Amino acid sequence: MDGLSAVRSAGARAEGNTGNTGSAASGKSLKIDAIRFLAATWVMLYHFGPPPFKEIFKAMLPPALAPVGGALWSGSVVLFAGPAAVIVFFVISGYCIHHAWHRDAVLKPVNYFASRYVRIGLPLAVAVLVCQPLPGAGNLLQSVLWSLYCEIVYYTLYPLLRSYFRYAGEMIVGIALAGAAMVWYVHTHTHIVCEHCVYETYGVAGTSLLYLPGWLLGCLVAEIQQTGLTRAGERGAASARSSMSPFTARFAGTLRVVAQALSTQLVVTRIAVVTAASLTFVLASTSRIKPAFLPFIGPDITLPVFQLVATAWLAAELARPSRSRFWHRVGALGAWSYSLYLCHKLAQAILGVTGSPPGVVAAWFATVVIALAVSYAFYLAVERPSHRLAHRLRKFAQRAPTRPAV
């Protein structure tokens, strides 16, 4: 969910050196920031529910239009598939980490672990402390902590995975098959906690295993870009392929071809991704919203598959960098997407103490406004200083002791 400062600084350096290349890198980081913020918003609206269109239509429009409000609300419930948005976070996280650390010929473990754990761990620790005085806030926070535990696992494994990244394709396929075998065994030989409870059923280790392929796929997208496999020149592509195992080279080449094809139809691709994300939610649903002909398929099956969709989409977006006004404005909000993801449910705890305003509409808007305000304040007070400290720790180099004069 982070590493964007390094991506931006790399883009800035490239802009000074190569002109159009720097502009493209900056456009890519804008898109990454914007997608991170949109994913955090998706998760927030998944937890809070979409705007109460039924009540809004009843209060402001003729009664004949009330069913339209109900249909709009039902469609919005399906639209904001929070777990699928978390998968997008994982893919982006892998992309950002590998993009940021790929340039370092030697990864210094002390600098790396200190910067990574401070970047994600310090805001997490502060958020947990802030929750203590608020009744029920700790339980509310649990709904987002599982993904942060997975991130910490991925950060911890990254130096080892980086050492063998020329076999990235083999690792992705092997880990995906291991995750599929784990899901099969749990479904056929053990007890599932509940139909929607991936983390509760598989724990930190099992959940991390399920979603590690998506994180590694994000790393592979960064590898393709950094090593020149997306360049028009054949020399750069040939050099990149030679640094990969034959299977990984074919895997990366297929991903590049798919991304280039999808990038020519980005609007259609975005609609397809949102539809696929909603489908993961619908297939795991047992409510009346779900059509009767659709089978039940749990998120431990659909979300690992969605990782491929999310990766192809992200690669397609990055294949077409954009500096449009939309990406620039939404991308500016991406700096505090981690705070929004981490802190948005504190709004419910705060309103539980202060009391919600009367009416469903007013209560929903109050919850969203407080969530945004608390998250931005948390970003200014905690996340941004943590990010800066992490950046200093990454660049810190211990001075060699001077030899005493003889």
Residue 135 burial class via C-beta count within 10 angstroms: exposed 0-12, middle 13-18, buried 19 and up: exposed
pLDDT per residue over 246-278, tens digit each?
999 999 999 999 999 999 999 999 999 999 999
pLDDT at 7: 46
Looking at every residue in the chain, the average pLDDT score rounds to 85
Mean pLDDT for 100-123 is: 83
Mean pLDDT for 196-220 is: 94
Mean pLDDT for 35-62 is: 90
Task: Give 230's pLDDT tier (boundaries 50, 70, 90).
Answer: very low
CA–CA separation, 321 and 324 (whole Å): 9
Task: Give 20's pLDDT tier (boundaries 50, 70, 90).
Answer: very low
Helix (H, G, I), strand (E, B) or coil at 173: helix
Instruction: Match 């990766």 to its residue by tokens.
Output: 311
**Among the listed ranges 175-179, 359-363, 401-405, which one has the minimum average pLDDT value?**
401-405
Distances (CA, A) of 296 to 279, 285, 286, 299, 302: 11, 7, 8, 10, 10
Task: Give 392's pLDDT tier (boundaries 50, 70, 90).
Answer: confident
Mean pLDDT for 26-32 is: 76
What tokens were used for 398?
Answer: 């211990």
Cα-Cα-Cα-Cα dihedral of 293, 299, 305, 306, to 10°? 90
Mean pLDDT for 175-198 is: 90
Mean pLDDT for 370-386 is: 95
What residues contact 258, with CB distance under 8 A and at least 6 apart?
312, 315, 316
HSE on the CB side for 287, CA within 13 Å?
Answer: 8
pLDDT at 105: 58
**Among the listed ranges 203-207, 350-354, 400-404, which one has the minimum average pLDDT value?**
400-404
**Among the listed ranges 173-177, 267-271, 350-354, which one has the minimum average pLDDT value?**
350-354
Q: Which helix (H) or strand (E) holds 71?
A: helix 66-79
Task: Give 378's pLDDT tier (boundaries 50, 70, 90).
Answer: very high
CA–CA separation, 293 and 153 (whole Å): 39
pLDDT over 60 at 236, yes or no:
no
pLDDT over 60 at 400, yes or no:
no
pLDDT at 26: 60
**Among the listed ranges 80-84, 160-164, 195-199, 231-235, which one has the minimum average pLDDT value?**
231-235
CA 98, chain centre distance (Å)? 14
Distances (CA, A) of 292 to 68, 169, 282, 308: 22, 38, 11, 27
**Among the listed ranges 176-185, 199-208, 304-313, 323-332, which one has the minimum average pLDDT value?**
323-332
What's the sign of the alpha-carbon dihedral 243, 246, 248, 254?
A: positive
pLDDT at 242: 57
CB 69 within 8 A of CB 196: no
CA–CA separation, 232 and 63 (whole Å): 59
HSE on the CB side for 130, CA within 13 Å?
Answer: 22
**Among the listed ranges 135-149, 176-190, 237-251, which one has the minimum average pLDDT value?**
237-251
pLDDT over 50 at 336, yes or no:
yes
Going from N- to C-terminal start, the domains of the chain cover 4-395
Task: Write a three-state SS string for 333-363.
Answer: HHHHHHHHHHHCCHHHHHHHHHCCCCCHHHH
310 backbone φψ class: left, alpha, beta (φ>0; ψ -120 to 50): alpha
Q: Which of 26-35, 74-83, 177-186 is modeled with the greatest confidence?
A: 177-186
pLDDT at 64: 78
Mean pLDDT for 50-67 is: 84
Cα-Cα-Cα-Cα dihedral of 28, 32, 38, 41, to 10°? -160
pLDDT at 46: 94
Task: Give 132's pLDDT tier (boundaries 50, 70, 90).
Answer: confident
CA–CA separation, 173 and 191 (whole Å): 26
